[in-house]
């Protein structure tokens, strides 16, 4: 194993995004920015019931409206197929039913028809003019879950020891149920498809976090060979997991393009974002903790339920972090699903771990209160030596350091434990303060990837991979790595991403795109260098005649003999130009860890979240004033976009704790707050001061640079840190998110100023 | 969205003359109307753009009052030096509303006529007596957390969403309207209607009436102004409860008081009951509680919003506390959000 000193220096420090200028000048082309000659516009018709069947569908008026080219529905869209079971990260789709497959309505907003017209406005008018009648049946969007509703016996996700007996005999017990609401992904960029069928091949401009998977799914569902489908996603206005797998609108656009022989654009509207493209399902989680009076955990049981749709099984996976978070001899984590008349759920940033850690880290805080122990001390007392769930050593776990560094930065030692006992001063004069903390973690994995690197005769370089940049900085990180390895500046490097014509790359999900692509790019650079050295030592015009390729080195963009000083180097562009070769290229490859057999290590990122809330009981006003986050995310390749990820996640965590919840009308299943005014997200005015620290310990088990991803971990634990702080300030323990004014009005009156 | 024609008026008379039938709408900032047209809630056949008819200035009147043109943008009004100094409650309320982008577009007249944010009003798949008279009210047995506890009827519980209207209510603004029969003045207290059995009729305006001005009477130099808005998040959200206060004290006694509430009433809610409980009494917390109780005596909460009664009680009490405490202690506790 390499030691830290053998790692290449981080020459680039904290570089700005290479794609920044394109984005701020509006020249970055997002999927919905593609306007192709002859393009038509598609606007879906959405069901206004959540359960029942279509009794009648009258398109006569719509069809005769100006500009209308077609109204498609079950009877005339044409055949679409279902996917075969997925293999690895290919062929994955959460809503498996092809659009319009039958006349049954299973959730509010389900697509029942689509209007295709010359202009967007004409398509909207025509979609509104399609008259649909329904035969409604009883629906179920009830918020609360009962165990008896579970689709099957709960799945035992992890088990060790005898948790029932250990809990029964534990001197101190916590037994509480926590819930997180349905949350809707609300990236700024709406889902969009621009589909172009040329008679044989589909070119699909998609808002996808996984072009390779989209290519496979679309080919299967359209019923064409995979090579007939090209998926392009150059820029994404984020996705938060909602754009990982294809959704029905993409099929509708592609099929309409095939039927009409013209490009078709379909942009999902904001209200459709709440019903047709996934969501984080509501979770309901019972956590039982047993401990000794000294604070040693002896039993942990975590039983979670989440809702899913009528046709698809989506398990949120709330147990993800439970088995390895703490040392406890007796543990059981189970999960189950209940069915509701809602669209199919999907991954949202930190699926499983984020709601799961809200429950677990709330329960740990409740145990600390019960034991009259500092919640930080309680966590230190239960730090595991290894991953007790998998019985494997951690590749790199620095959770204790996260807690200690965070405590120092937050000044945790000055916390007084009494409820409402801390008062603000200065700008916070007159306010009650609450301080809370929570631990967090997230899986660290990598998947297979390939990449191509070309060293060009003009002295520039090009790196390409099919993987897409969800907006987190993949363009920047790949540019930085090539810059570092080749020794040329970022402005001489072209990064090409988001196209299935390029070497296959990973999904932008699971926080593993960076960790997965880097080894492939490093391998590609090495291979390109070998090609370059061979050219430099071959032929009559060789720059280094009579030398062996392995006698050469590349530094600062110049090739020199290892035996000579670097200053004697010849620019690689000159070598290639002289040889009349356009490019020395290398194809790199890396293997995955996800699901690999014979694992020797448990690989995870860790972190600690410290939150301060201010509380004005006289007007029931609660705000988050400050968050200190310490992340053990491996070696950080470029601190700037990495910090940006954590800060954004903390802001999202404030929303999860205090604001976000998709509310379904109980009578017709409509997500009734389906817009950005009624679905409350964090605004800038709600964003706290955020202090981010990266411990920067390389995880060399995971990849040669020791880098893990940081896209999701920043959200984990934030909600629990905030609700723990809310309890400290107000005495109100909120176990069902979000914290509402209603909950806080119940704060004990004696704590009121 | 339905097809509609669009014309630009060059002056108020032309606009009024063009508005000959009920499905004509004037459009100014468009911040409510265009949204509702996209949702198919508003279906005008003809839009008359009034952005170029003038009426966009704020003028001091010889009697000391202030005349505000109907086309004055919310941002400009909020930052107008006379409004900031003499009618601070109006400035505070405007700045508590919407977002900077919306305030830059929204106009004084448009804000007066802002439609409710009731989610069922916006969902055309569900009944709503305000949108489709006689179809029923979906909110009463639905998601009504944000809706009214004062002035509701069995046909409608939608709130008036405006912050500005609450401030104009305590300032006892007069609204000048031009219609086919000429100009007339309407005191704001008579301008808005409670829903009763006709929730689709929200004001006393007749079809084709155009608001031209809002007039405030001469400022009261001794008065203190407070607008306190309570909501889930710190910005860009309608009030769950708000209170506008104009108060004058003499020798510790309340000698002048105006109280109005937002976010809880079907119209901007003037509380004469709270004012009566406060007038001529000492400016002390017990009286503030009494005033709050008086304001909420007829409160009728819905299934999801009983908390608004207690929240509003605290809102009124705290706003009165802020309005009656000395200037030095006031700055510390009127922090935004």
**Can you tell me the ipTM of this complex?**
0.96
pLDDT band of residue A751 (cuts 50, 70, 90) is: low
Burial A514-526 (b: 16+ CB within 10 A, else e): bbbbbbbbbbbbe
CA nearest to B313, candidates A749, A725, A750: A749
Any B CB within 8 A of A689 CB: no
- Of the listed ranges A327-336, A340-349, A504-513, B95-104, the least confidently predicted one is A504-513
Model pLDDT, residue B223: 96
Q: Do A745 and B310 touch (CB under 8 A)?
A: yes
d(CA A397, CA A381) in angstroms, rounded, equals: 16
Write the residue in A667, A741, A745 that is nearest to B232 by C-beta: A741
Across the interface, whether the CB atoms of A673 and B143 are under 8 A apart is answered: yes
* Chains A, B: CB pairs < 8 Å: 87
Reported pTM = 0.96
Q: A458: exposed, middle or buried (C-beta count within 10 Å: 0-12, 13-18, 19+)? A: exposed
Q: Write the pLDDT tens digit of every residue in B221-230.
A: 999 999 999 9
Length of chain A: 753
Please report which residue ranges of A372-453 form alpha helices under DSSP H.
375-381, 399-410
Contact B233 A680 (CB under 8 A): yes
A308-327 pLDDT, tens digit each: 999 999 999 999 999 999 99
Predicted local confidence at residue B1, as pLDDT: 73
Q: Which of A619, A680, A688, A753 to mutate to test the interface with B (most CBs of B within 10 A)?
A: A619
- The whole-number average pLDDT for the span A96-121 is 98
Contact A689, A651 (CB under 8 A): no
Residue B73 structure tokens: 């943008």
- Judge whether A263 and A39 are in contact, CB under 8 Å: yes
Mean pLDDT, chain A, rounded, equals 95
Contact at CB, B235 and A686, closer than 8 angstroms: yes
Q: Is the peptide bond before A738 cis (omega within 30 degrees of 0)?
A: yes
A554 touches chain B (CB under 8 A): no
The alpha helices in A136-204, defined as continuous H runs, are 163-168
Residues of B in contact with A619 (CB under 8 A): 228, 230, 314-315, 318
Residues 589 through 648 of chain A touching chain B, CB cutoff 8 Å = 618-621, 623
Using the predicted structure, report yes or no on whether residue A749 has a pLDDT greater than 90: no
Q: Which candidate in B117, B119, B301, B303 is best for mutational testing of the A interface (most A CBs within 10 A)?
A: B119
pLDDT of B197 strictly over 90 = yes
Mean pLDDT within A213-226: 98
Supply A354's token pair. 């984020």
Residue B317's φ and ψ, nearest 5 degrees, are -60, -45
- Give the chain A residue whose CA is nearest to the CA of B228: A619
**C-beta separation of A329 from A161 below 8 A:** yes
According to DSSP, residue A486 is labeled I
- pLDDT tens track for B159-182: 999 999 999 999 999 999 999 889
Q: Does A678 touch chain B (CB under 8 A)?
A: yes
| Token pair belonging to A558 | 């110049």
CA-CA distance, A310 to A50, in Å (whole number)? Answer: 11
Contacts of A430 in chain B (CB under 8 A): 332-333
Using CA atoms, how far apart are residues A334 and A323, in angstroms rounded to an integer? 11
User: From the candidates B95, B233, B237, which should be mutated to test the interface with A, based on the most A CB atoms within 10 A?
Assistant: B233
Q: How far apart are CA A327 and CA B237, in angstroms?
A: 44
DSSP B238: -
Cα dihedral B132, B134, B140, B146, rounded to 10, equals 30
Torsion of CA B32, B35, B39, B42, to 10 degrees: 40
Tell me the nearest-neighbour CA distance from B182 into chain A, angstroms: 38
Contact: A658, B232; criterion CB under 8 Å: yes
Using CB atoms, which residue from B143, B232, B315 is nearest to A680? B232
Active site residues of A: 712
């Amino acid at each position: 194993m390499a030691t830290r000193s053998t790692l290449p220096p981080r020459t680039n420090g904290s570089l700005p995004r290479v794609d920044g200028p394109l984005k701020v000048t509006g020249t970055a082309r997002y999927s919905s920015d593609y306007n192709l000659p002859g393009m038509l516009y598609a606007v879906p018709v959405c069901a206004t019931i959540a359960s029942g069947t279509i009794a009648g569908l009258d398109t006569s008026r719509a069809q005769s409206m100006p500009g209308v080219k077609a109204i498609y529905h079950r009877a005339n869209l044409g055949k679409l197929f279902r996917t075969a079971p997925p293999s690895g990260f290919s062929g994955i789709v959460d809503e498996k039913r092809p659009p319009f497959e039958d006349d049954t309505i299973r959730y509010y907003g389900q697509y029942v028809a689509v209007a295709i017209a010359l202009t967007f406005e004409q398509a909207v008018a025509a979609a509104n003019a399609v008259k649909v009648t329904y035969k409604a049946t009883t629906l179920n969007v009830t918020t609360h879950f009962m165990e008896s509703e579970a689709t099957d016996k709960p799945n035992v996700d992890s088990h060790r020891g005898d948790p029932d007996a250990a809990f029964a005999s534990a001197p101190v017990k916590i037994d509480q149920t926590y819930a997180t609401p349905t949350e809707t992904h609300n990236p700024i960029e709406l889902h969009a498809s621009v589909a172009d069928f040329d008679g044989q091949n589909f070119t699909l401009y998609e808002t996808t976090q996984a072009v390779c998977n989209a290519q496979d799914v679309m080919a299967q569902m359209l019923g064409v060979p995979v090579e007939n489908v090209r998926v392009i996603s150059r820029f994404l206005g984020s996705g938060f997991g909602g754009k990982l797998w294809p959704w029905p609108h993409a099929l509708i656009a592609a099929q309409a393009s095939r039927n009409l022989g013209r490009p078709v654009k379909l942009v999902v509207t904001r209200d459709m974002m709440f019903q047709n493209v996934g969501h984080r399902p509501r979770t309901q989680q019972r956590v039982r903790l047993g401990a000794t009076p000294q604070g040693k955990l002896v039993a942990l049981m975590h039983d979670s339920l989440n809702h899913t749709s009528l046709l698809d099984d989506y398990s949120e996976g709330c147990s993800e972090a439970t088995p390895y978070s703490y040392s406890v001899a007796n543990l059981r984590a189970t999960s189950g699903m209940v069915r509701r008349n809602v669209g199919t759920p999907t991954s949202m940033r930190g699926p499983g771990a984020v709601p799961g850690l809200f429950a677990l880290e709330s329960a740990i805080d409740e145990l600390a209160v019960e034991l009259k122990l500092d919640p930080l001390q309680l966590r230190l007392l239960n730090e595991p030596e290894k991953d007790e769930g998998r019985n494997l050593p951690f590749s790199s776990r620095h959770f204790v350091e996260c807690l200690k560094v965070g405590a120092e930065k937050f000044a945790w030692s000055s916390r007084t434990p009494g409820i409402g006992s801390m008062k603000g001063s200065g700008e916070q004069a007159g306010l009650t303060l609450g301080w809370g903390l929570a631990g967090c973690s997230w899986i660290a994995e990598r998947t297979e990837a390939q990449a191509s690197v070309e060293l060009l005769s003009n002295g520039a370089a090009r790196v390409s991979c099919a993987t897409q940049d969800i907006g987190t900085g993949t363009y920047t990180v790949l540019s930085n790595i090539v810059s570092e390895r080749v020794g040329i500046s970022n402005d001489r490097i072209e990064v090409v991403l988001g196209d299935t014509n390029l070497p296959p790359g990973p999904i932008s999900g699971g926080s593993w795109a960076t960790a997965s692509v880097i080894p492939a790019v490093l391998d590609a650079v090495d291979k390109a260098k070998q090609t370059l050295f061979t050219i430099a030592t071959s032929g009559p015009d060789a720059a280094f005649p009579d030398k062996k390729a392995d006698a050469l080195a590349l530094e600062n963009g110049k090739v020199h003999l290892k035996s000579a000083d670097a200053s004697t180097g010849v620019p690689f562009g000159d070598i290639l130009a002289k040889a009349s070769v356009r490019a020395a290229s290398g194809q790199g490859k890396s293997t995955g860890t996800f699901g690999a057999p014979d694992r020797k290590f448990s690989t995870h990122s860790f972190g600690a979240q410290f939150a301060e809330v201010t509380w004005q009981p006289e007007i029931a006003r609660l705000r988050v004033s400050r968050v200190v986050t310490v992340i053990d995310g491996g070696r950080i390749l470029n601190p700037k976009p990495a910090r940006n990820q954590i800060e954004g996640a903390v802001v999202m965590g404030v929303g999860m704790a205090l604001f976000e919840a998709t509310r379904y009308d109980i009578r017709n299943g409509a997500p009734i707050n389906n817009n950005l005014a009624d679905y409350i997200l964090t605004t800038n005015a709600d964003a706290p001061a955020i202090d981010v620290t990266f411990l920067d310990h390389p995880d060399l088990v995971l990849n040669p640079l020791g880098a893990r991803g940081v896209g999701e971990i920043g959200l984990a634990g934030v909600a629990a840190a905030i609700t723990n702080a809310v309890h400290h300030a107000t005495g109100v323990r909120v176990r069902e998110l979000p914290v509402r004014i209603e909950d806080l009005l119940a704060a004990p009156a004696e704590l009121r100023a | 969205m339905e097809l509609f024609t669009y014309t630009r008026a060059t002056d108020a008379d032309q606009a009024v003359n063009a508005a000959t039938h009920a499905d004509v709408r004037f459009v100014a900032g468009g911040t409510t109307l265009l949204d509702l047209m996209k949702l198919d809630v508003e279906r005008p056949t003809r839009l008359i753009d009034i952005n170029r008819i003038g009426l966009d200035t704020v003028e001091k009147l010889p009697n000391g009052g202030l005349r505000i043109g109907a086309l004055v943008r919310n941002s400009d009004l909020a930052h107008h030096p006379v409004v900031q100094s003499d009618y601070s409650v109006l400035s505070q309320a405007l700045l508590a509303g919407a977002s900077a982008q919306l305030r830059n577009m929204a106009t004084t007249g448009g804000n007066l006529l802002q439609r409710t944010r009731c989610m069922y009003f916006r969902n055309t798949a569900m009944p709503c007596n305000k949108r489709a008279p006689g179809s029923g009210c979906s909110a009463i047995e639905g998601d009504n957390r944000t809706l009214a506890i004062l002035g509701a009827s069995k046909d409608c519980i939608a709130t008036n969403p405006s912050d500005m209207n609450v401030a104009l209510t305590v300032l006892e603004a007069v609204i000048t309207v031009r219609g086919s029969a000429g100009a007339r003045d309407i005191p704001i207290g008579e301008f808005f209607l409670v829903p009763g059995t006709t929730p689709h009729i929200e004001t006393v305006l007749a079809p084709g009436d155009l608001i031209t001005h809002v007039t405030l009477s001469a400022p009261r130099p001794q008065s203190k102004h407070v607008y306190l808005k309570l909501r889930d998040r710190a910005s860009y959200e309608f009030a769950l409860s708000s209170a506008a206060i104009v108060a004058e004290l003499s020798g510790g006694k309340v000698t002048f008081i105006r109280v109005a509430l937002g976010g809880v009433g079907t119209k901007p809610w003037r509380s004469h009951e709270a004012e009566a409980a406060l007038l001529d009494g000492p400016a002390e917390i017990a009286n503030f509680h009494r005033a709050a109780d008086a304001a909420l005596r007829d409160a009728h909460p819905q299934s999801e919003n009983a908390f608004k009664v207690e929240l509003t009680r605290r809102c009124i009490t705290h706003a009165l506390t802020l309005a009656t405490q000395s200037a030095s202690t006031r700055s510390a506790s009127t922090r935004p959000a």
